[in-house]
Every structure is written in C-alpha cells, then in structure tokens.
Structure 1
C-alpha cells in the first residue's frame, strides 16, 4: 500500500510517499480502505518536532488523525461493522501510532462511526477531529441554553462546527472572523458574552467576556490569562466513536456543514502542509490516495 512517511522531524519536504506492508485487522479492529485523510494543525506540530515530547511512536511514522473510507476487513469480536460499510474515524496518532495518511488503516472499531451519507465519502474526512474538538469544547464550557457565547475563528473548521453546535444547544452566538467572512463580526464588542471558545489563538479576545464568565481554549500556545473572575480552561480532543456517530447523524440532518477547502494527492502532502501553515484556508485540507 502507499503511505505518507516521516523519517525525521523537520520541514514539509521530509514527507514522502512509499510502498509499505499492508496492515490487517486484529481483534476488535477494522481495516479501512481510505478515501481521504484530513490535514490538521496537530500533524504540522508532529512533523516539525514541536510535539516530540508527547509522541510515543518511533520513526518512521505515518501522520494523520482523521479518515473516511470503506471497511474491507473486520477482526475477531467486531459486530458493529462489516466489509463494505462507509466509516469515519479519528485516531490520536501521537499516542496510538496509527496514522491515517495511508491507503489502508487498521484501527480499533470503537474509534469509528458510520460516515454521513449526505456528503461525498472523501469529504467526510473533514468531520472527526474538528467535530469532536468542537463538541468537547462546548461540553467543557457548559453554558446553559439562552446564554451568549463568543466564538473566535468562527470561519475555520473547528470554529464553524462550534457555531452550529452552539445554536443546536440554544445558545446565542457572536461569531468572530476576518473581515469578509460571511456571518461574522471582525471587531469584538466588550463584555457581551457569558462564555468564549477560542479556536484561533486570540487571547486578547477575553475582553468580550463578562466578569465572572467562562473561557475554553483549544490553542495551548496562545491561551488567555484569567482575569476579572473569568474561569479559563483548556480542551484537548479525545477519541470517541459514539460521539462521532452522533456528529455524523447531525451532518445528515443538516445541522453540521462539512467544509472542504482543497484536495491533494498523497504525493502532494508537503504542499498541503505548507498550505495549512500559511493560514487563511476556509475549509479542511484533504489528502487522497
């Protein structure tokens, strides 16, 4: 099978496509033929060595946390899936060692969920990490219905899901984005929100939160400093196949919108990494075999 390999930490040019032995499905696992894998900021952090202290797998490694594809084999003890099923999954590659930039991926069946049927299968790869990050950040913020939430980075992959999921929870949303981003404000009003989810690394936006409010950030390198009695928490995404199944249903119900920016071949992985690092993308970048 073809896979995108990394042999040492460094710049995007170090990513290269190689033929590798195909995995098989072990007990409680499924083997998935990948339609697409998403490119996420964490992939850039792993590749560069920024997260080296937290990576538990040796070189050479296959990067990638997201996938969408078709089950081709199920291991012993798996009853939730069968060959031919369309699935999405998130694997925390830094910990599991199971990366998704490959034609075939074997992973625990508990990490997978049925793919939404209302979008092309490859596009569904934009859902797992971003959707779970958004849902779990809202859980951490824990605002009751009717309260006002500020979302920074609202036009991005995670921020877009936060906005839609917050509305589903009956929260009033102030969406912050760049000038020209549809449906967002570019200037943050002062003290208008009961809570704030930061997906963009804008610590100064804490001014938009009322005294005694709540903040959840998914950007540890630019976390806001607590002030005025405001509670600040970090939220780190966790694997959760059951929650992912729920999010997949919300896509089919029209609650969540899959946003795809650009699609690259595996051989263009260095280009995709450079593109994400440059910023400004208004949709998930995907890699296809």
Structure 2
C-alpha cells in the first residue's frame, strides 16, 4: 500500500511516499480504506521529534491523526461497523502508535464514528482532531447560555469549531482574530470580534478558551472568579484573581465524534478545507501549515 513515511526525525523534505505492507485488523479493530487524512500541527511536532519520548514506533514512521474512509474489513468482536461503512476517526499516535497517512489503516473500532452523510468523504477528514479538541475543551469549561466566551484563534481549526459549537448553545462568543478575519469569525457565529493586533479590554469575558498559544496576553480579559482553559501545554494561563484554570488535551472518543458528525449533518458545523493533494503533497502541506495563515485543513489522499 502507499503511505507517507518518515525515515528519521527532521524537516518536511524527509517525508517520502513509500510502499508498505497492508495491515490486517486485529480483534476489536477495523481496517479502513483511506479517503483522506488531515495534516495538523501535532504532525509537525511528531515529524521534528518533539514527541519522540511519547511515541514508540519503529521507522519508517507513518504520521497522521485524522482519517476518513470506508471500512474494508472488521476484526473479531467488532459489531459497531461493517464492511462498506463510511467512517471518520482520530488516531492519537502517542496512544495507538498508528498513523493515518496510509492507503489502509487498521485501528480500534471504538475510536471511529459514522462519517457525516452530507459532505464528501474526503472533506470529512477535516473533522476529527480539531472537532474533538474543541468539543472536549468546551465540555470541560462548560460555558452556559448567556455567558460571554472569549476564544483566541477563533477562526483557526480548533477555534472555528469551538465558535460554532458555543454559538449553537446560546453562548455569546467574543472572537479574538486579526482584522482580515473578522467577517469569517462572524460567519462562524461570533457575536463580536476583537482585534488580535490591539490591546484587549479587561474583564470582558466570563470564560476564556485559548487556542492560539498566547495565554499570558489574554488572561486579563477574564473577569474575577471566571474560567480559563487552554489547549496548549507549554504556556497555560496562570491562576489569578480567583480564575479557575483548566488544561485540556484531546482524547480519542468515537461516541463524541459521532455527535460531531451528526452536527455536521444538521448544519451546526461546517468543514473548512484549504487544499487537497495526494501523499506527494505532504511535504508542501507541512511547510504551508508551519507558515500559518491557512483558514482550512490540508488534506492528503492516497
């Protein structure tokens, strides 16, 4: 099978399209014929070796956490899916050791979900990692209807899903975005938009969701006794003024992913794709993601 592989940790130029043996599903697993897999910031970290201590996997290493495709076969004990089913999944490499930039992927059935019916199966690969990150962060922060939620990086992959999810629950979303992204932030559901290029007013939000790695710069916008959460481990908000600070790390969850898939079909969530290319596009997708500024996912197809 074709796969995008890495022979050693390093730059994007080390990513190579290779031929590897096709996997077979073990008990509890499904074998998926890949439609597409997404490129995420975590893939850049894995490629550069930043997660080498957390991922035990022999080289050549197959990257990728997002997956959409069709079930090819099921392992013993699997009754959740059957061959021919359209699915999406997130494979957290530090937990599974399984990358998704491959023509066939065998992974636990429990971490997969039915793919949205209303979007192309390739584009469905834009949902899993970013969608689950946003969903789980909001579940932990629990902003209530009528509360003011400030989201930094509100038009990014995670922030965009969080904006849509929160707005659909009656939360007043204050988006922190660059001026050129203000219209997009409103389209995603933000009630108001603040410029990321200007100093923030103080104590304007009940809750903060920090998705852009700028926690120290935005914590002052949270009111006393408010709540703040960050998806970034290196620099979480610091507890002060009675603010409850939470750190969130995305976890595999097929049931939650099924909820997100249904929300796509209901029109609550929209999927944004920057560009689609085959595995040979992988190195360029890594470079462009690292450069920043994209407003949608880079998706790779076999």
TM beyond 0.5: yes
Indicate the SS of the match to 2:32.
strand
- Equivalent residue for 1:191, pick from 203, 208, 222: 203
Give 5+ residue unaligned stretches, structure 2. 187-192
The within-5 A match list for 1:19-58 is: 19-58=19-58
1:194-213 Cα shifts (integer Å, max 9, x gaps): 01001111120112111111
Indicate the SS of the match to 2:225.
strand
Alpha-carbon offset, residue 142 of structure 1: 1.9
- Equivalent residue for 1:260, pick from 265, 270, 273: 273
1:43-101 Cα shifts (integer Å, max 9, x gaps): 10010011222222232211111100011111111112111111000111122111000
Tell me, yes or no, if structure 1 residue 283 matches structure 2 residue 283: no
**Residue 236 of structure 2: aligned partner:** 223
**Residue 255 of structure 2: aligned partner:** 242
Single out whichever of 161-170 and 132-141 deviates more from structure 2. 161-170
Could you state the TM-score of these two structures normalised by the residue count of structure 1?
0.97
Indicate the SS of the match to 2:194.
coil
Give 5+ residue unaligned stretches, structure 1. none
Indicate the SS of the match to 2:53.
helix
The 1-side partners of 2:16 and 2:234 are apart by: 28
Tell me, yes or no, if structure 1 residue 11 matches structure 2 residue 11: yes
The 2-side partners of 1:239 and 1:49 are apart by: 22
1:125-178 Cα shifts (integer Å, max 9, x gaps): 010000100010001112332211000101111101101111222211101111
Alpha-carbon offset, residue 124 of structure 1: 0.4
Tell me, yes or no, if structure 1 residue 202 matches structure 2 residue 214: yes
Structure 1 segments, 4+ long, off by >4 Å, are none
The 2-side partners of 1:43 and 1:71 are apart by: 24
Q: How many residues align?
A: 289
The 1-side partners of 2:103 and 2:44 are apart by: 20
For the Cα contact (< 8 Å) 1:11–1:48, is it kept in 2?
A: yes
The 1-side partners of 2:93 and 2:240 are apart by: 35
The 2-side partners of 1:38 and 1:125 are apart by: 6
For the Cα contact (< 8 Å) 2:229–2:237, is it kept in 1?
A: no
Alpha-carbon offset, residue 185 of structure 1: 2.5
**Residue 189 of structure 2: aligned partner:** none
Could you state the TM-score of these two structures normalised by the residue count of structure 2?
0.93
The 2-side partners of 1:104 and 1:64 are apart by: 12
For the Cα contact (< 8 Å) 1:65–1:90, is it kept in 2?
A: yes
Alpha-carbon offset, residue 251 of structure 1: 0.2
The 2-side partners of 1:52 and 1:276 are apart by: 21
Indicate the SS of the match to 1:52.
coil
